[in-house]
Chains A and B, each alone.
Chain A
Amino acid sequence: MTEIKEKLVQWDPADIKSKLIAKYPPKVARKRAKQIMINEALENETPEITANVRTIPGIITMRGCTYAGCKGVIMGPTRDIVNLVHGPIGCSFYAWLTRRNQTDAGENGENYIPYAFSTDMQEQDIIFGGEKKLTTAIQEAYDIFHPKSIAIFATCPVGLIGDDIHTVARLMKEKFGDCNVYAFSCEGYKGVSQSAGHHIANNQVFRHIVGENDEVKPGKFKINLLGEYNIGGDGFEIDRIFKKCGITCISTFSGNATYDQFASAHTADLNAVMCHRSINYVADMLETKYGIPWVKVNFIGAQSTAKSLRKIAAYFDDKELIAQVEKVIAEEMPEVETAAAEVRTRTEGKTAMLFVGASRAHHYQGLFNEMGMKVISAGYEFAHRDDYEGRQVLPLKVDADSRNIEEIEVEADETRYAPRKTPEQMAELEKAGMDFKNYNGLIPDMEKGTLIIDDLNQYEAEKLVELMKPDIFCAGIKEKFSIMKLGIPMKQLHSYDSGGPYAGFKGAVNFYQEIDRLTSSKVWAYLKAPWQENPELTAAYVWE
């Protein structure tokens, strides 16, 4: 513990901030200064951070593109939709099986996850247009696989040459009759990060799939789980817990999801939102059009999982469900607590940095807290201000980049809009503490004096690690090895390296053990050879 305390007093956040931006050209320094915030943890008055703004050319960013957000994040994890990428080969290739989205299609089910589909556009397609090739490719996919649905994704050149992918999709859908075809204009240059791609995916899923199947599914407590992508099997663990509690998940957006799950999403009675950034649009639209309320949940961390389950039970206001949820929590917690207590002897007081996503840098703080660890700096890669400061800052100012991302107007469905609760019930639930349609963001959960940094880049990451010396750094694959070379353990929190699940109760145990492995291992002690530790030659006398 003494060692930790020393570490904490070593630095002053204002000094760190000034060191992070000292080397930048003045224009870059000014811009970055607005994206680096020293948390003052004020009760009611949240300081403003700049987020969701352009990446600076030349500054080595962690961010990806709109296509990655749309195809890679949201639609990639679906398993029975043929995700056809319209563009040169690379975009489809790089998004092929690299995100560790697990799927289970059983013995005879459909699973296209191990496949990559592309129109492999060539120069002549760029010159003369690629619509014809796209049409043929859709036909070939249909003839070979007979899928329920084919999704088309635009890559950069598609928008530039003006291929009308939406018309191609509509015509093919009409032609097939038994296969829903739709397209996503998710060219990589749109927006400023993956985030724009999430929004585009949300819009099209809502427009073309949600509401297509009115069949009433069995189940007493029906929810949708939004923003859970089954990386490392997280979704499977959450499904296990739901099942044990008696909660029916109609649709997951979008881990191991099927076309039919999306199509039936409007038949659920509550939307539970995991990743606020990537999926809040669908949650809002489901509420407006079908009257399904949404609440923010978090199944990362045992405490958060328990809290989220209680929240769902409270919403349904059913004694049996409430009792069952309590029973499940009581059953699951001992194993978690034993594991936490075991690692805490080593992890207590250690420090972490989290730079990932637009919810994980927040969600994972709970897990670290459960291990007695402290998050000294965190930030998102592609978040908006509401993910930091909470939804009370909405609506945000529209700028030149966000203006280009479509906002679809949704109205209450004439026949299918049905409020799940009466206004009185809603009021009562709110009075009892149910926080509908709200997310408070990352900032309130971080301590005073911690550093919150948006769109952290490689240079700043290296500096930050050198200056603050965390015991573990969490980000993505591109950041992993430059941090490790510094002798600091690194955990990928996008794809979990080779681990997971980390969600739910069993996931918490996995995570404690993984972080303990990383921060307590002897392997980090081998960096120096004996002759580098003691370069003097006196040891030679030993021979005498």
Chain B
Amino acid sequence: MLLRHTPKEIPERKALAINPAKTCQPIGAMYAALGIHGCLPYSHGSQGCCAYHRSTLTRHYKEPVSAATSSFTEGASVFGGQANLLQGINNIFTVYEPDVIAVHTTCLSETIGDDLPQIRKKAIMEGKIPEGKYVLGASTPSYSGSHVTGFSTMVKSMVEFSERTDKKNGKINIIPGWVEPSDMEEIKRMAQLTGVETIIFPDTSGVLNGPMTGKYKMFPDGGTTIEELKSTGDSIGTLALGEWCSAAAARELDKKCKVPCKGLDMPFGLQATDRFVDALRTIAGVSVSDELSFERGQLVDLITDMHQYFYKKKVAIAGDPDQVIAMVEFLVSIDMCPVHIVTGTPGKKFEKRIKELTEGMGIDVNVKAKGDLFLLHQWMKNEPVDLLICNSYGKYMARDEDVPLIRWGFPILDRQGHQYFPTVGYKGGLRLLEKILNALLDRKDRDDPETSFELVL
């Protein structure tokens, strides 16, 4: 047994987190910043943070992840990190020549009270930021929120670029939230099929799923450009996908440039995708293409064709709030039963929303925001499930409890595909169903007795 010390009994824990279902804010800020074209993320703290975040993102994407750090020493921690940051900015613009440096803070620089806006002002005054180059800042202390909060905060700070001119650009802003590069690409494709011009930010497609060419581009071709970010202020409206990831930026843009916004769930599964496409159509005033309707029909087709294998199957899920909410809705919509649901990110709304979504299921549901995988595992020991949906850390529970696992979420350190094949939209829904069916049916083929082992399923 891998997790051999995990007991079935569940004593209350007030202070000890075991096997977390979240990580800290700065990595989210770093991921978001990689979605700006020509941007070098910058961690204002001790160099270990930056090393850990780069390592985790690199393992997840199997792609280069460049980011710099203030490399605090004990001296900087006592006297403040201003000198380090100023020196860092100067070195970066000289050596790496990015268009933007996106600085995020850490628990270290926040605890000592470094004032990012003030340091940036000083950098501008001292001429450390060359003409036409930018330094962006986000306050992301590791001791509040989670990696999701850090992502949201960095996206919100991108709104700083937005400018409002008198002329609307006829576009719709889409804030996709923390999804994979492949998902961002798919969202763009769906908008294109609907005939809607969009600005999507951040956009890591083409950044973290790049080709092998024999050339290393420190700043790949992908990413939302500064011009696009500026133009977001002139868009017709903003669709914010995911309350936790994207709403803050959309509201900020509304406040700053009067771009109206609509919050939606992330478009995972049938109904959330329907709402996304419908919103897109309504705001842009276009009709949905036959091609997209065809894709939708294919998804419904697979759901109805294979419904017998989904029906009443119990599922345990861990992941980030926006993703898990959409996934739970999808599972419930195909008559599966998500029974144990955990997210590491705090937020009471999460539990409320899950309770609403699972209300008609007729089974008691365990749900916890700010939970951890240790708790999820204990729930699984008490009430076994047919399927586990989790990031790669789920494989330890899956093996111990002999439950099939679908890797979904962040980080995925031991399988590939997430950067190339989307799980959003109708096409992504097909992929999710394929994954679910493969997991369940491979298990069935393994476990069925020879007498009832079947060729046709």
Interface residues of chain A, those whose CB is within 8 Å of chain B, are 23-25, 28, 54-68, 84, 87-98, 105, 110-112, 114-123, 125-126, 133-137, 140-141, 143-145, 155-157, 159-161, 187-193, 400-401, 404, 458-459, 462, 476-478, 480-487, 527-528
Give B48-82 as 1s and 0s: 1 = Cβ < 8 Å from A's Cβ atoms: 11011111101100111111111111111100000
* Residue of B with least CB distance to A113: B2
Which A residues are in CB contact (< 8 Å) with B71? 54-57, 61, 63
A189 to B90, CA, bound (A): 22
A98 touches B55 (CB 8 A): yes
Question: Once the chains bind, are B66 and A482 in contact (CB under 8 Å)?
Answer: yes
Q: A88-B24, A462-B216 are in contact. List 20 more A-B contacts (CB 8 A).
A: A28-B91, A59-B91, A65-B46, A65-B47, A65-B49, A68-B52, A89-B142, A90-B27, A98-B56, A98-B59, A115-B19, A118-B20, A119-B16, A144-B11, A144-B13, A156-B107, A193-B47, A481-B64, A486-B214, A527-B214
**Least CB separation from B53: chain A residue:** A94
Given contacts A60-B68, A126-B111, A528-B214, contact A116 B19 (CB under 8 A): yes
Interchain CA distance A458-B18 in the complex, whole Å:
35
Say yes or no for B260: interface residue by CB 8 A criterion.
no
Q: How far is the CA of A459 from the CA of B98 in the complex (A)?
A: 13
30 A–B contact pairs at CB < 8 A?
A57-B69, A58-B87, A61-B47, A65-B46, A65-B49, A88-B107, A91-B24, A93-B20, A93-B23, A93-B24, A94-B55, A96-B20, A111-B4, A115-B3, A118-B18, A118-B20, A122-B143, A137-B16, A140-B14, A141-B16, A144-B13, A157-B108, A161-B111, A188-B45, A188-B46, A188-B49, A482-B218, A485-B210, A485-B217, A487-B214
Nearest chain-B residue to A111 (Cβ)?
A: B4
**Whole-angstrom distance between the alpha carbons of A105 and B1 in the complex?**
10
- Which residue in A59, A97, A140, A458 is a CB contact (below 8 Å) of B16? A140
Least Cβ–Cβ distance between A443 and chain B, in angstroms: 26
Q: Give bound CA distance, A497 to B42, whole Å.
A: 26
List chain A residues, Cβ under 8 A from B144. 122-123
What is the minimal beta-carbon distance from A499 to any residue of chain B, in angstroms? 15
B296-329 at interface with A (beta carbon < 8 Å): none
Residues of A with C-beta under 8 A to B39: none
If A61-B71, A90-B27, A145-B5 touch, whether A126 touches B90 (CB-CB below 8 Å) is no
Q: How far is the CA of A412 from the CA of B111 in the complex (A)?
A: 42
Asked whether, in the complex, the Cβ of B213 is within 8 Å of the Cβ of A527, the reply is yes
Q: Using CB atoms, name the residue of chain A closest to B93.
A: A58
Within 8 A of A (CB), among B209-226: 210, 212-218
Query: Cβ of B213 and Cβ of A481 under 8 Å apart?
Result: no
For A89, A105, A140, A482, the residue with the greatest tally of chain B CB atoms inside 10 Å of its CB is: A89
* CB contact under 8 A between A136 and B52, given known A61-B71, A89-B142, A478-B58: no
Residues of A with C-beta under 8 A to B26: 90
B 84-100 to A, binary, CB cutoff 8 A, 1 in contact else 0: 11011111101110000
Give the distance to chain B from A13, nearest Cβ to Cβ, in Å. 22
**Is B17 located at the chain interface by the 8 A CB criterion?**
yes
- The residue of chain A having its C-beta at the shortest distance from the C-beta of B94 within the complex is A25
How many whole Å from A475's CB to the nearest CB in chain B? 12
Q: Is the beta-carbon distance between B90 and A58 smaller than 8 angstroms?
A: yes
Asked whether B48 lies within 8 Å of A67 as measured between CB atoms, the reply is yes
Known contacts A64-B47, A143-B11, A478-B58: A110-B5 contact under CB 8 Å? yes
User: Across the interface, which residues of A come within 8 angstroms of B94, CB to CB?
Assistant: 23-25
The number of chain B residues with a CB under 8 A from chain A is 84
**Which of these, A96, A157, A481, contacts B62 with CB under 8 Å?**
A481
Q: Which residues of B contact A63 (CB under 8 A)?
A: 47, 51, 71
A97 to chain B: which residues have CB within 8 Å? 393
Q: Which residues of A contact B107 (CB under 8 A)?
A: 87-88, 121, 126, 155-157
Rounded to whole Å, the gap between the CB of B9 and the closest CB of chain A is 9
- For residue B18, give the distance in angstroms from its CB to the closest CB of chain A: 6
Q: Cα distance A145–B72 when bound, in Å?
A: 36
| Complex interface residues of chain B between 319 and 360 (CB less than 8 A to chain A) | 344
Q: Does B396 sit at the interface, judged by CB under 8 A? A: yes
Decide: B143 and A123 in contact? CB cutoff 8 A. Answer: yes
Contact A400 B66 (CB under 8 A): no
CA of A105 to CA of B4, assembled, Å: 10
Q: Is the CB of B106 within 8 A of A156?
A: yes
CA–CA, A188 and B76, complex, Å:
12
Specify which of A90, A123, A192, A458 is in contact with B49 (CB 8 Å cutoff). A90
Residues on B with beta carbons closer than 8 Å to the beta carbon of A84: 16
Q: How far is the CA of A63 from the CA of B59 in the complex (A)?
A: 17
The 7 A-B pairs of least Cβ separation, nearest first, read A65-B48, A90-B24, A58-B88, A58-B91, A94-B52, A88-B142, A136-B15
Q: How far is the CA of A54 from the CA of B70 in the complex (A)?
A: 11
| With known contacts A88-B142, A119-B15, A485–B58 Cβ distance under 8 A | no
Asked if A61 and B17 sit within 8 Å, CB to CB, the answer is no
B74 and A23: CB pair below 8 A? no
Q: Out of B4, B13, B74, B95, which one reaches A24, CB within 8 Å?
A: B95
Contact between chains at A404 and B214 (CB < 8 Å): no
Beta-carbon contact of B17 and A484 below 8 Å: no
Is the Cβ of B143 less than 8 Å from the Cβ of A88?
yes
Check: B7 CB closer than 8 A to any chain A CB: yes
Decide yes or no whether B146 CB sits under 8 A from chain A. Answer: yes
The contact of B54 among A54, A112, A193, A478, by CB within 8 Å, is A478
Is B407's CB within 8 Å of the partner chain A? no
Contact of B418 with A by CB under 8 A: no
A196 to B262, CA, bound (A): 50
Q: Which residue from chain A places its CB closest to the CB of B58 in the assembled complex? A: A477
The answer to whether B95 touches A89, judged by C-beta atoms less than 8 angstroms apart, is: no
B22 at interface, CB cutoff 8 A: yes
Contacts of A527 in B (CB 8 A): 212-214
Asked if B112 is at the interface (CB within 8 A of a chain A CB), the reply is yes
Any chain A CB within 8 A of the CB of B141? yes
Cβ–Cβ < 8 Å partners of B413 in chain A: 98
With both chains docked as a complex, state the minimum distance between the C-beta of B55 and any C-beta of chain A, in angstroms. Answer: 5
Q: Mark B107-146, 1 if CB is under 8 A from A, else 0.
A: 1100110000000000000000000000000000111101
From the candidates A87, A123, A134, name the one contacting B15 in the complex (CB within 8 A): A134
Q: Which residue of A lies closest to B143 (CB)?
A: A88
The docked-state distance in angstroms from the alpha carbon of A188 to that of B44 is 13
Measured between alpha carbons, how far is A252 from B376 in the docked complex, in Å?
A: 35
A115 and B49 contact, CB distance less than 8 A: no
A141 — nearest CB in chain B belongs to which residue?
B16
B215's partner among A68, A90, A480, A485 (CB-CB below 8 A) is A485
Contact A96 B5 (CB under 8 A): no
B393 contacts A25, C-beta separation under 8 Å: no
Contacts A57-B69, A57-B70, A65-B47 hold; do A140 and B15 have CB atoms under 8 A apart?
Answer: yes
Bound: A119/B16 CA distance, A: 5
Q: Which of A144, A188, A192 contacts B108 (CB 8 A)?
A: A188
Report A253 CB to chain B, min CB distance, Å.
Answer: 22
